[in-house]
Amino acid sequence: MEATSSLDTADIQSQPTVPLSPHVYVPPTLRGEECYHVFISYSSTDYQWTHSLINQLESRSLQVCYHERDFTPGRTVLENMSECIQESQKVLLVLSPEFVRSRWCLLEANMSLFRDCLERKPIIPVLLDPGVSVPLHLCHLTYLEASDHDFLNKLLKVICTPNQQLQGSTVLPFQPPSIYNGKALQPLSAVNDEGLNKWDCGQFSDMEVPDQLRLIIEDQEQYRKAVRIINRVSQNKVGLRLILITSLIYAFGTIAPALYLIATTAGGLVDTKHDTTNVTESGFAMFCGCCILVMMVIQLAFWEKDIEWYIVREMQKAVGEANIILSEQKVLMGCQSNSKINLVYVILDGCKLDFAATFSEQAVAEDMFRRALLFFSSGYTCCLAKRHFPFPMPDSGGHLEGGVCFCQYVSQQLSREEWK
């Protein structure tokens, strides 16, 4: 979901007012416990733009709720938000990078407090910055773009349409989790990311489950267990072990032959007064010595890259093991570097059934599915997160609407390996 406008946040916020709408919209009647037509949630960094919009809405007799004015002092933010959403007909979210980083995390992490409200009330996402990453739980909504020249008319039309008439419209209430199938989540960054060497392994926090996963993962201890599996790579000091092993190999492969050639060359130089054949042997020995030195330089040039590749490979193995646990929670991890782990929400039930149909014995089917997760789930996750696969989209339909499901990916990878 990408915005088409190139207008950035600074340009939007520099506009003192939102253009007046030529259309006339009648505010819907407030019923029952409703006190507001719309509750607006936004980051304080977007104050100027949002209050310009609020002034335009209130000039049209719309009752707007926002935190600076309408939150009750002495109550928590979450209590205030829950009550304000309950008392409003609709919820408008002003999406900017700062909102996604701060306020949305708060809203998403505590969705259970007012999920019932959100299920009955339409959410209107307004994309303030075209470059913002739309949160997972809003991916199914059609957002409004602040840079659209007809933005205010579109917004007023939605706000002034009674909720019961919005059924089937492009602005929908909260949807069940299945609609997020295949969506990428915010990646995890290593806690020791700063100053992390290429031969070191990233370490990831297993103390708290990230806000974005609290609504998805039912058993949070399973998440912590999965992270601890990945952290074992760092704890086992595989990078240091590899450095020691490769250093010994290089020493044995270069220093020992070099010492031998030096001794041979020295012997040849002494014997040149008596035997011209030794001069030829000495020259050959020096040539071999030069070749060994050149090979040593080449090895050292690729040494750091080999170390980095080995570290990532070991982390990918650990991620595959962790995914055997996380797949039950509808989450998969993927690793392409030593400091970042990709996360996706994906339902593998259909793929698991395909494995069961392929292998008649249940024990064999379960074992093969576990092996597939172990060897292929990390790469699959990274492809889903990047929305790019190293092969054409399969013709036959899989279990992921509009994408490549896990069993299709495994089949393609096995075919590529057999072809090689």
Instruction: Report yes or no: 342 and 382 within 8 Å, Cβ to Cβ.
Output: yes
Q: The domain that contains 15 carries what CATH number? A: 3.40.50.10140
Query: DSSP for 184-200?
Result: EEEEEE-TT-TT--TTS
Residue 97 maps to a domain:
yes
Under the banding of pLDDT at 50, 70 and 90, the label for residue 207 is confident
Write out pLDDT tens, residues 18-32.
Answer: 444 456 788 999 988
Residue 114 maps to a domain:
yes
Of the CA atoms within 13 Å of residue 265, those in its CB half-sphere come to: 14
Under the banding of pLDDT at 50, 70 and 90, the label for residue 3 is very low
| Average pLDDT over all residues of the chain | 77
Pairwise CA distance, residues 356 & 348, whole Å: 12
Under the banding of pLDDT at 50, 70 and 90, the label for residue 419 is very low
Stated pTM of the model = 0.55
Q: Which helix (H) or strand (E) holds 89?
A: strand 88-95
Residue 317 maps to a domain:
no
Pairwise CA distance, residues 135 & 114, whole Å: 18
**Number of structural domains, the chain?**
1
Pairwise CA distance, residues 312 & 233, whole Å: 10
Under the banding of pLDDT at 50, 70 and 90, the label for residue 193 is confident
Pairwise CA distance, residues 61 & 374, whole Å: 59
Cβ neighbors of 381 (< 8 A, separation 6 or more) are 319, 323, 332, 333, 334, 342, 343, 344, 346
Residue 292 maps to a domain:
no
Residue 248 confidence (pLDDT): 61
Q: DSSP 3-state helix, strand, coil percentages of the chain (rounded to 5)? A: 55, 10, 35
Pairwise CA distance, residues 265 & 195, whole Å: 46
Pairwise CA distance, residues 94 & 383, whole Å: 30
Instruction: Report yes or no: 212 and 186 within 8 Å, Cβ to Cβ.
Output: yes
Residue 360 confidence (pLDDT): 84
Q: In terms of Cα–Cα distance, which of 69, 113, 116, 63 is closest to 92? A: 63
What are residue 123's DSSP bridge partners? 91
Domain residue limits at 38 = 9-175
Write out pLDDT tens, residues 88-112.
Answer: 999 898 988 888 776 665 565 455 4
Pairwise CA distance, residues 108 & 353, whole Å: 32
Write out pLDDT tens, residues 276-319.
Answer: 555 555 555 566 666 666 665 655 555 566 677 888 898 999 99
Where does residue 105 fall: left (phi above 0), alpha (psi -120 to 50 degrees), or beta otherwise?
alpha
Residue 353 maps to a domain:
no
Write out pLDDT tens, residues 112-144.
Answer: 445 555 566 788 889 988 777 777 666 666 788
User: Maximum distance among all alpha carbons in the chain?
Assistant: 115
Q: In terms of Cα–Cα distance, which of 289, 290, 291, 366 is closest to 324? A: 366
Handedness of CA 229, 230, 232, 235 (dihedral sign): negative
Write out pLDDT tens, residues 249-281.
Answer: 656 655 655 565 566 555 554 454 455 555 555
Using alpha carbons only, give the angle 371, 374, 380 rounded to the nearest 5 degrees. Answer: 110
Of the CA atoms within 13 Å of residue 161, those in its CB half-sphere come to: 19
3-state secondary structure of 362: helix
What are residue 331's DSSP bridge partners? 345
Instruction: Report yes or no: 307 and 237 within 8 Å, Cβ to Cβ.
Output: no
Mean pLDDT of 221-244: 77
- Give residue 391's identity as a one-letter amino acid code: F
Write out pLDDT tens, residues 166-178.
Answer: 754 444 444 445 6
Handedness of CA 272, 278, 280, 281 (dihedral sign): negative
